[in-house]
Structure 1
Amino acid sequence: MSQKQYTLEEVSRHNKEGDLWVVVDSKVYDLSKFAGMHPGGLSVLLDEEIAGKDATEAFFGLHRYEVLQRPQYKRFVIGSIAGQVEQIHPRLPGELSKVPYAEATWLTPGYYNPYYTENHLKFQLAYRKFVEDVLVPEGQAREEDGKRPSPSVFLEMAKLGIIAMRLGPGPHLKGRTLMNGLVKPEEFDYFHELIMGQEMSRAHARGYNDGLGGGTYIGLPPIINFGKPALRDKIVEEVFAGKKLCALAITEAFAGSDVAGLKCHAKKVPGGYRVTGTYKWITNGTFADYFTVGCRNDQGGLTVLVIERQPGVETKSIKTPYSTTAGTAYITFEDVFVPDENLLGQESKGLQVILSNFNHERWGMTTASVSAQRMIVEECLKWVNQRKVFGKPLHSQAVIRSKLAAMISRVESAQNWLESITYQMNHMKYKEQAEYLAGPIALLKKYATETAQETARDAVQIFGGRGITKSGMGRHIEHYHRTVPFDAVLGGAEDVLGDLGVRQALRKMPKDVRL
């Protein structure tokens, strides 16, 4: 049924308490009954520039477009302005943004790229639609209430092969149907995985992103690569089916980044081990079913075991700046029996097991970090274009343009370095990656997370008070500023990674060079 049309003159007659209309983007809203309940107070709506007027500019100076899409506000629409059409159109789920620098160059019309294929593009479009249809609404809800991610979401991810694909290319994908057949297991490469890591950030829910299998991403690979076949196959199928989750427990309050300094003890007993110790800041620990655990054995060496949740395993939630939906935990193992078949790799050679996945882990964290930073650039570009100060757009101020220039430069340089390393990963075997890319990946992660924190700070300055408010126009900015330090710590603190990168370079310095 077509809506009634009005003239601006007709609307202007409804400009007082009890009889109050406004126009937003050609639509006429009757706010007569709502005005008294307006969160900002009645006086805001009775302003002479709003009541009975086209309040489009004023509205978008105070609210995000999504407010107009809420059912409780859509019911206030009574018609439209004759001769006018909607000028503002929200991006539909799966679509690309038209805002400059909101998308990586390879997704921007008119640009070319040396890395991505047509299949990558189709994969990106399908994966973004899944993220925005399923993960974004779920992520926002769980970020707010702090509950663990819904089991139904893991089952949906399992149907599409997403849980398996998040571990990257490899034999574990053989025979599986990925994204309804969109990509063949043997064709799935690190650029497909990069796309997944970058699209996951679109939920603007940092804690939820980690809760959605962050522990599995780092805890399952050691089981796949070093576990005995029976144990490996059992756990892999349970996890890939969306029924079980893993966590990696190697961080102790005592040791931190010093993996070799672990104190948790695995005492050898007939048929297995008795494990006693504590771990802290373990992602997904509060609800994980399996724990990949680094322990000190009787000889003082490092042994890695798979410990299933059982009596003697206690997990407690740790409060952090991001949501408890991440399942960040303090874990206590109290005389827990672990059978011999749960040993990963060889006795006293656990350091190799633990370090084997660090490069991939840090690279994966960087994909998400760069993408999250890019979305903040998009938020800022939108805001400076619609926010008016002193009668002019915010971007009319040179200092604002300077901040934007720095933000764009940072994210584009990080993206290009990331893609360069990803290309090398696609063409190197595992041993070559360990030899050539450990340093560059460490330095890239350090750079990406450092620049991310600079961008977070600049974004708060651009948004002002809105940038430190958990709701409204700047809610994504506040969330990003509050949670961005996680990327700088998880997978190795920035200073530790920087030192690693330089030491790797110095180790390869030729002996015959001088200034």
Structure 2
Amino acid sequence: MMKPFEGVDYYQVEDLLTQEERDARDRVHDWVRTRYLPRAADCFEEGVFPTDLIPEMAELGLLGMKLKDFGGKGVNNVTYGLVCRELERGDSGLRSFVSVMNSLVMFPIAAFGSDAQKQRWLPAMVRGEKIGCFGMTEPQAGSDPQHMETRARREGDAYVLTGRKMWITNGHIADVAIIWARTDAGIRGFLVERGTPGFTAHPIQRKMSMRASVTSALVLDDVRIPAENLLPGTTGLKSALTCLNEGRYGIAWGAVGAAMACYETALHYAQNRIQFQVPIASFQLVQSKLVKMLTEITKAQLLCIRLGRLKDEGKARHTHISMAKMNNASEALKIARAARDILAANGISLAYPVIRHLLNLETVNTYEGTQDIHTLAIGHDITGLDAFGAPRSGEKGR
């Protein structure tokens, strides 16, 4: 039976939601509480993603959430954001899987794919029968994707792809990878299926963050694919960045979920932990930390709800998304660190969720755009001056 929703809502943001939005959030919150949290610590410690839960996620309608066709639910952006928040309240790896599937795999196929590509992949992905990944980041091209080295050359009725991709979520469990590569016509997107000769995916081992997430390296050694595997609507790096904007939107909401989990844990712990014969919540310094945590969560919640409404109205700009991702991920990481401090030695134990969220947020804070990159994107927007990269020879510094 579904329990009443329990969350952090000091500014009554709940009043800004529709009943449909609340219902979707509550269903996911309850599923995370009953189906994922009991095994969250084990998944993190063992470094495994619970693939057996994928059919349940599909049944909940978490895959293809914003698609209006192909079996998708067609929900609005606020609903999608709330779902991402509740998933990451469980674990960043859980939200990351759903976020990649929705924003970085199904979105580009729906936005840039041919009718045949959409029909082949989207319904199966909505049902959880096919998994995808997004191959953009490279060993030498993270924040600077315009200088990616992966190449796709046309040979008759085929393309031949060569290159390497790194830190790819879902990589070695994916049935298809969306690979971004340089061509004579600029950067384009391609569908590369698992099992294609020359295409391999390897798990990245010994990572101390996002342990309950599939993270992979992709290798493309003269991978020959049919020409029709090109996503025909892709027109340069802008197409890939459009997908990343979708992903960053979900991250902005998800980070709030991780922050909420850390704050709630720290508050409960402080109210019940007795030192010097009183709860540590009675100490001024502990209260100061809790108030700062709650204030930043509230600010992040308000950023998210406004961003979601702007997105639903078609008014959101990429710098709006950058600001929310930049702020919320950074503040969530600070909140996790403050919670770990309040829990003291218990803060590093997986008996509590804080250390798990803290380590995950170290990744969330940098992937899909580091704080510095988002800062410069917003700085360019408000000043009109580009501060990316060093001045070229002969130029004066700006």
Which one of 201, 213, 219 corresponds to residue 105 of structure 2?
219
Deviation at 1:210, TM superposition (A): 2.7
With the length of structure 2 as denominator, give the TM-score of the two structures. 0.89
> Structure 1: 5+ residue runs without aligned partners?
1-91, 179-184, 509-515
Aligned to 2:378: 501
Which one of 312, 318, 324 corresponds to residue 204 of structure 2?
318
Which structure carries more helix by proportion? 2
| Contact kept? 1:94, 1:132, Cα under 8 Å | no
SS of 2:64's equivalent in the other structure is helix
1:237 matches 2:127: no
Matches for 1:341-380 after TM superposition, within 5 Å: 341-345=228-232, 349-380=235-266
The amino acid that maps onto 1:468 is: I
Deviations 1:51-70 (A, max 9, x none): xxxxxxxxxxxxxxxxxxxx
Give the distance between the partners of 1:300 and 1:173, measured in 2 at CA. 31
1:159 matches 2:46: no
Give the distance between the partners of 1:386 and 1:465, measured in 2 at CA. 15
Aligned to 1:51: none
Deviations 1:307-331 (A, max 9, x none): 1112211111113213544111111
Deviation at 1:105, TM superposition (A): 4.9
Aligned to 1:95: 4
Give the % identical residues.
Answer: 22
RMSD: 2.3
SS of 2:377's equivalent in the other structure is helix
Which one of 455, 468, 493 corresponds to residue 335 of structure 2?
455
Give the distance between the partners of 1:248 and 1:360, measured in 2 at CA. 13
Deviation at 1:404, TM superposition (A): 0.9
Give the distance between the partners of 1:483 and 1:173, measured in 2 at CA. 32
1:191 matches 2:78: yes
Give the distance between the partners of 2:78 and 2:94, measured in 1 at CA. 23
1:302 matches 2:211: no
| Contact kept? 1:94, 1:129, Cα under 8 Å | yes
| Contact kept? 2:64, 2:72, Cα under 8 Å | no
Q: How many residues align?
A: 383
Deviation at 1:176, TM superposition (A): 3.9
Aligned to 2:48: 147
Deviation at 1:379, TM superposition (A): 0.8
Larger CA deviation: 206-215 vs 363-372: 206-215
Aligned to 2:223: 336
| Contact kept? 1:216, 1:247, Cα under 8 Å | no
Aligned to 1:120: 21
Which one of 139, 144, 152 corresponds to residue 253 of structure 1?
139
1:129 matches 2:30: yes
> Structure 2: 5+ residue runs without aligned partners?
386-398
Give the distance between the partners of 2:248 and 2:307, measured in 1 at CA. 12
Deviation at 1:192, TM superposition (A): 1.2
Q: 1:361 to 1:502 in 2, by over 3 A?
A: same
| Contact kept? 1:314, 1:333, Cα under 8 Å | yes
Deviation at 1:406, TM superposition (A): 0.9
Which one of 356, 369, 373 corresponds to residue 492 of structure 1?
369
Aligned to 1:393: 279
Give the distance between the partners of 1:143 and 1:415, measured in 2 at CA. 27
With the length of structure 1 as denominator, give the TM-score of the two structures. 0.70
Larger CA deviation: 217-226 vs 272-281: 217-226
SS of 1:484's equivalent in the other structure is helix
- Which structure has more relative contact order (CA 8 Å, sep 6+)? It is 2
Deviation at 1:131, TM superposition (A): 2.5
Runs of 4+ aligned residues of structure 1 deviating over 6 Å after TM superposition are none
Q: 1:316 to 1:367 in 2, by over 3 A?
A: same
| Contact kept? 1:136, 1:202, Cα under 8 Å | no
Deviations 1:121-142 (A, max 9, x none): 2232223222223333454443
1:419 matches 2:305: yes
